[in-house]
Amino acid sequence: MDLISSYYSASANAAALASPLAGDTEADVCVVGGGIAGLSTALHLAERGYRVTLLEAHRIGWGASGRSGGQAIFGYACSQQKLNAAVGTTAARQLWDFSIEALDLLEGRVARHQIDCDLHWGQMHVAIKPRQRDELKAWQRELEDDYGYDSVRFMERPEVEALLATRRYCGALFDSRSGHLHPLNYTLGLAAAARAAGVVIHEGSQVTSIDRSDPARVITSLGSVRARHVALCCNAYVDGLEPSLRARIMPVGTYIIATEPLGEDRIRQLMRDNVAVTDINFVLDYFRCSADHRLLFGGRVSYSGLDAFNTAKATRKRMLSVFPQLADVNIDYAWGGYVDITMSRAPDFGRLAPNVFYLQGFSGHGIALTGIAGKFVAEAIAGQSERFDVYTRIKHQDFPGGKWLRTPTLMLAMMYYRMQDLL
């Protein structure tokens, strides 16, 4: 039941271990999954007066919520144009507004519950090639003209190089409203807030099946929870629990390294301000600095589900393509995990039964979006489903190829996109 070895687990705040579910119990709502989505759902419901039991198969924050790059970014992994096509311009505008509300919710939760998670504001998308620079300029115009989003500004190469000690980027779109944090400590802070609000949390309690009756029954190897409502928040780790959901997401492996502590002077020579950075390649890199002045650098996806290469060495090589001046620096931590992507990269929220809700498909935009998703599930369970139902209008397809061929099929598609990144 231990957390995976990572910089985040090594620097995690103290947290009590919750006992596994033993025997049969009852609740108003049973939440499955102890990441940000599940904890947000549980916390919002408890604040509304519901009796909530949360079941986590491993430890709180064991999955993507405790391993990710920690960047909280506006919008979605898909474009607004894709959302316009999927649900129409009015609903797409609502979805955009929800993504901004998600950032406000995150900020409010951290402040209200005094969560020590090293939250900082400031994030930038960076361009490697001239055509990407043009894409960022067009994106800025869209955000300002179509959505009135005035928190972004475009940066030409000289300004980028004044902020980042690298020649790799020819432009950037800086957003003062997005930011970054220690994702595991944020998740643990939400768990503490949920417990304080009355949520009963059980770790080491993998759900084996869900009886979609009314009330529903959520079954583990050692017990069960009978509940009026169920919220399934497993994301990339839904596995065989709900095959219909698993078919619509692809768990994608992504990897992060953490350097040895560089000291404040050296990290500020690399990054003048404490901002998060991500490039706009399809197979992207991202980085930021930690509270103890390490560089955290991530990227390099695996669609095979296997770590066939030395990922620490490969990710370090990508880091040196940005900051060659770190050639003498040791890597103290290297870890990976799965991100759940959908075919369209749009989030996949819905119902398996009138009283069984699910959240998945955050596609790398989970730090902020999972929080607001949990709020919307809580609203729907309380009878106010209008905002949740905007997401249910997005139609999702199964990944092609079925159980055995969908990964090879996706890998072939990714070869095409990787070639596009090089052009």
pLDDT in tens, 129-145: 999 999 999 999 999 99
Predicted TM-score (pTM) of the model is: 0.94
Per-residue pLDDT, 2: 85
- Tell me the C-alpha distance between 25 and 217, whole Å: 10
**Which residues contact residue 52 at a Cβ distance below 8 angstroms, ignoring those fewer than 6 apart?**
27, 28, 29, 30, 31, 42, 45, 46, 194, 198, 199, 200
Residue (of 22, 113, 34) closest to 370 by Cα position: 34
Domains identified in the chain and CATH numbers: 7-404 (3.50.50.60)
- Percentage of the chain beyond pLDDT 70 is 92
From residue 174, alpha-carbon distances to 178, 211, 260, 327 in Å are 9, 47, 27, 28
* pLDDT tens digit at each of 423 positions of the chain: 689 999 999 999 999 899 999 999 999 999 999 999 999 999 999 999 999 999 999 999 999 999 999 999 999 999 999 999 999 999 999 999 999 999 999 999 999 999 999 999 999 999 999 999 999 999 999 999 999 999 999 999 999 999 999 999 999 999 999 999 999 999 999 999 999 999 999 999 999 999 999 999 999 999 999 999 999 999 888 878 988 898 999 888 889 999 999 999 999 999 999 999 999 997 789 999 999 999 999 986 655 554 545 678 889 999 999 999 999 999 999 999 888 899 999 999 999 999 999 999 999 999 999 999 999 999 999 999 999 999 999 999 998 765 554 555 555 444 434 444 445
DSSP string, 169-180: -SEEEEEEEEEE
**Cα 174 from Cα 170, distance rounded (Å):** 13
Beta bridge partner(s), residue 334? 257
